[in-house]
Amino acid sequence: MLPQGMSFPALMVVAILTAGSSMLRAQDPARAVVHPAPTLAVDGLGKGTTELNGPWQFHLGDNPAWASPTYNDAHWDQISAEKPWGLQGHESYSGFAWYRRHITIATAPGASPDVAMLIPAIDDVYEIYWNGQLMGRLGQMPPHWISYNLIPPQTYGLGPVRSGVLAVRVWKMPLLSTDDGTTGGFGGMPIIGSPEAIAAVKGDFDFKWLRAQQFHFALSSLYGLVALLGFFAWWRDRRQWLLFWTAMFSANFVADLFLTGLRLHASFAALSFWNQTEIAIREMSQWFLLLWILQLQDNRKLVVLTRKVALISVIASVMDGMLTLLYPAVFNEIGLQITDAVLTAVMIFFEAFPVLLVTYAFIRGKQLDSSRWVVAAVAFLNGMVYFVQNVTIQGVRFTHWSLADDLNKSLFTLGGSTIDLRLLLRTLLFFSILYAVIRFYIDSRRRTTSMEQEFQNARELQRVLVPSSLPVVPGFTITSAYRPAAEVGGDFFQVMPLESGSTIVLLGDVSGKGLKAAMAVSLIIGAVRALAEDHPSPARLLTQLNRRLCGHLQGGFATCVVLRLDPNGDCALSSAGHPAPFLNERELDLPGALPLGIARDVDYEESSFTLKVGDHFSLYTDGLLEARSPSGELYSFARLQRLFASHPSAAQATQAAINFGQDDDITVLTLTRMAFSEEQLQLTPA
């Protein structure tokens, strides 16, 4: 539970003791000591105010007749309205109680005849009666109770009252284990005066409260700014989960300000539910933030454990927050406290989870920069203080431990704002997170810039390696198309005329992306150009090329197909693990072979065939075959066969795959055997 917006439920044994000690203890009038009710005389009430001090008649229980001015309350107790009944002999009492004060009022000459009253706070629900007439209320009495908490002092107009009895009916909700038993009823002296004077007093109260909260408001605003910028930065690059969890963690401090720091006139039960939920989400966000700050996100088991702990903790907190919403319709007082205790045990157990994360990172010896360790240390301290407060406040009216109160004591004031340990640690946490995230963002941008430069260099190198125009090949029409994907890939092709009159056509694909792949392509093309004249046989060329590449591809490999094309249409073909070319609508049947760069002692085989006039020969990389539709369907061999049966140009074949859904680099090269009279060829690289 969250009385005063910030407390938590208790352990089961404490809850059972609480239920027993907080049962109604109505006094027996026959055995009570007689306390004749004194009358408070207020003379000359004008533009000023006066406190309703002195002894009030007080009685536990509930009876509508107690509002009547004729009721004899001489046998009632007498207590002060300056402090709660829990500090005046009625410790740990919850339920109904009544206050009565006999008053006579005489206004000053010329003063307003009307009287108003200001009540700083009454715990939890109250109704105000003057001479038996209801003058105002805050909240709603059981069974459909509604109470308000942490709201400003309330003012009530009493009208032209003069002499009579002011009665206040109070109901306090069942005690939770975080209650110390000293609360209940009036928490400050009520004040009466003219409506103008009461309005001025209320304004002074509000100003002092606002002045005391300005540091808290400023810090929450800064957290809100970090949350806004963090979400915006994460939305631009959703791989940066550190930014997301930083934003989530910061946003919850803003939510906490709205729920507990703005004195909203909202139901205590509803605020308790939302505040419990907000705290659970904040705790969860802190755990995932620590995972990323401490660079533990790659430990799958730890991430799964964190998710499970977060799920259990959030569910327990949400259920615990619902208890006040369900009282008394579903839970009676004992059921409320016992259920609360069970859920509290779960929540308090997991509040120490940040200790596990920080300790694990320390034991593993994570090499982190100082900014991350500062965040971890401050978050650790925040978590420990929060944990110790919640543990030591459980059952405090039985243990009488004062550590939680000591941790909440003011350390110093700053511009009228009280700074306690929690607010100080929260401030340090803000600046440490801000510093760490800025460092992370700068480093991330530096890495991104470096990668972008690498891709740019790879693109420039690829432009040099991929021919922009094709040489004339007598007797053939050649078309080519190269369409890279988003990243720089490793597709390559070359058309190299030999001094013998033949032409070597080379097409392949290097594993990997970026500059590394581009450098491997440059190595392959350079080696082929050096070997082609001495080894015109495609099989022999691949064998020599493989021996040169082994050990120089940094663990990668390359698939490749080499075609030697003679002017009369005779062809020799050898493949190193590359997809087989198509002759018209038929895929060539080639022997299997290892890609280049895997094993040094590999001898590649060679196939021979002849291209007739009108034959259409197509070479391609696997980006064409592996085009993928939005639904995830691959382009498939069946579509590929139908595509090449139509004798497309390289550009047409490439566009068909792009329209289907490009997923990788696509390179296509087509050759068409022409009649001898058509030797004047037009080359159309795309």
Per-residue pLDDT tens digits for 606-637: 999 999 999 999 999 988 888 888 888 888 88
Element holding 662 (H helix, E strand) = none
Average pLDDT estimate for 454-477: 72
Reduced 3-state DSSP string for 415-468: CCEEEEHHHHHHHHHHHHHHHHHHHHHHHHHHHHHHHHHHHHHHHHHHHHHCCC
Alpha carbon separation from 392 to 295, 313, 629 (Å, rounded): 33, 20, 60
Average pLDDT estimate for 575-582: 93
Checking if the pLDDT of 14 tops 70, the result is no
The mean-pLDDT minimum among 40-44, 121-125, 392-396, 678-682 falls in: 678-682
Rg (CA), the chain: 41
Mean pLDDT of the chain: 85
Average pLDDT estimate for 550-571: 89
Q: In this predicted structure, what is the pLDDT of residue 463?
A: 63
Cβ burial of 447 (10 Å; 0-12, 13-18, 19+) is: exposed
Within 509-550, residue ranges assigned H as helices are 514-531, 538-549
Task: Please give the structure tokens belonging to residue 150.
Answer: 């942490």
Q: In this predicted structure, what is the pLDDT of residue 20?
A: 44
Question: Residues of 502-511 as b/e, b for ≥16 C-beta within 10 angstroms?
Answer: bbbbbbbbbb
Q: Spell out the residues 6+ positions from residue 130 whose beta carbon is closer than 8 angstroms to its own.
A: 158, 161, 164, 165, 166, 167
Tell me which residue of 654, 496, 512 sits closest to 565, measured CA to CA.
496
Cβ(375)–Cβ(431) below 8 Å: no
Checking if the pLDDT of 6 tops 70, the result is no
Coarse DSSP helix, strand, coil percentages of the chain, rounded to the nearest 5 percent: 45, 20, 35
Assign 184 a pLDDT band (cuts: 50, 70, 90).
very high
Average pLDDT estimate for 435-464: 72
Amino acid, single-letter form, for residue 129 = Y
Domains of the chain (ranges; CATH) run: 32-193 (2.60.120.260), 209-448 (1.20.1070), 466-685 (3.60.40.10)
Classify 274 as helix, strand or coil: helix
Within 257-369, residue ranges assigned H as helices are 268-293, 300-326, 333-350, 353-363
Q: Which long-range contacts (CB under 8 A, 24 or more apart) does 365-372 make?
A: 366/294, 366/295, 366/296, 368/294, 368/295, 369/439, 371/432, 371/435, 371/436, 371/439, 372/293, 372/294, 372/295, 372/436
Average pLDDT estimate for 114-118: 95
Q: In this predicted structure, what is the pLDDT of residue 327?
A: 87
Angle at 486 (CA atoms; ends 482, 487), nearest 5 degrees: 90
Q: In this predicted structure, what is the pLDDT of residue 468?
A: 65
Highest averaged pLDDT of the listed ranges 160-174, 547-561, 649-663, 672-686? 160-174
Tell me which residue of 350, 286, 341, 343 sits closest to 317, measured CA to CA.
343
Tell me which residue of 456, 512, 466, 464 sits closest to 489, measured CA to CA.
512
Checking if the pLDDT of 348 tops 90, the result is no
Q: What percentage of the chain exceeds 70 in pLDDT?
A: 90
Average pLDDT estimate for 28-37: 62
Average pLDDT estimate for 495-502: 90
CA–CA dist 671, 618 (Å, integer): 7
Read off the DSSP letter of residue 273. H
Residue pLDDT, tens place only, 217-276: 999 999 999 899 889 989 988 888 888 998 999 999 899 998 988 888 889 899 989 999
Checking if the pLDDT of 440 tops 50, the result is yes
Assign 57 a pLDDT band (cuts: 50, 70, 90).
very high
CA–CA dist 264, 258 (Å, integer): 8
Checking if the pLDDT of 11 tops 70, the result is no
Assign 3 a pLDDT band (cuts: 50, 70, 90).
very low
Cβ(478)–Cβ(450) below 8 Å: no
Q: What percentage of the chain exceeds 90 in pLDDT?
A: 42
Average pLDDT estimate for 384-394: 83
Residue pLDDT, tens place only, 314-330: 999 999 889 888 888 88
Q: In this predicted structure, what is the pLDDT of residue 224?
A: 93
Assign 72 a pLDDT band (cuts: 50, 70, 90).
very high
Q: In this predicted structure, what is the pLDDT of residue 461?
A: 63
Residue pLDDT, tens place only, 373-386: 888 888 878 878 88
Q: In this predicted structure, what is the pLDDT of residue 457?
A: 66
Checking if the pLDDT of 5 tops 70, the result is no
Q: Spell out the residues 6+ positions from residue 164 whose beta carbon is closer than 8 angstroms to its own.
A: 69, 102, 103, 130, 131
Task: Please give the structure tokens belonging to residue 99.
Answer: 């206050």
Angle at 634 (CA atoms; ends 633, 639), nearest 5 degrees: 115
CA–CA dist 201, 205 (Å, integer): 6
Assign 48 a pLDDT band (cuts: 50, 70, 90).
confident
Checking if the pLDDT of 71 tops 90, the result is yes
Cβ(617)–Cβ(608) below 8 Å: no
Average pLDDT estimate for 553-573: 90
Checking if the pLDDT of 305 tops 70, the result is yes
Assign 410 a pLDDT band (cuts: 50, 70, 90).
confident
Task: Please give the structure tokens belonging to residue 680.
Answer: 């004047």
Tell me which residue of 584, 670, 571 sits closest to 619, measured CA to CA.
670
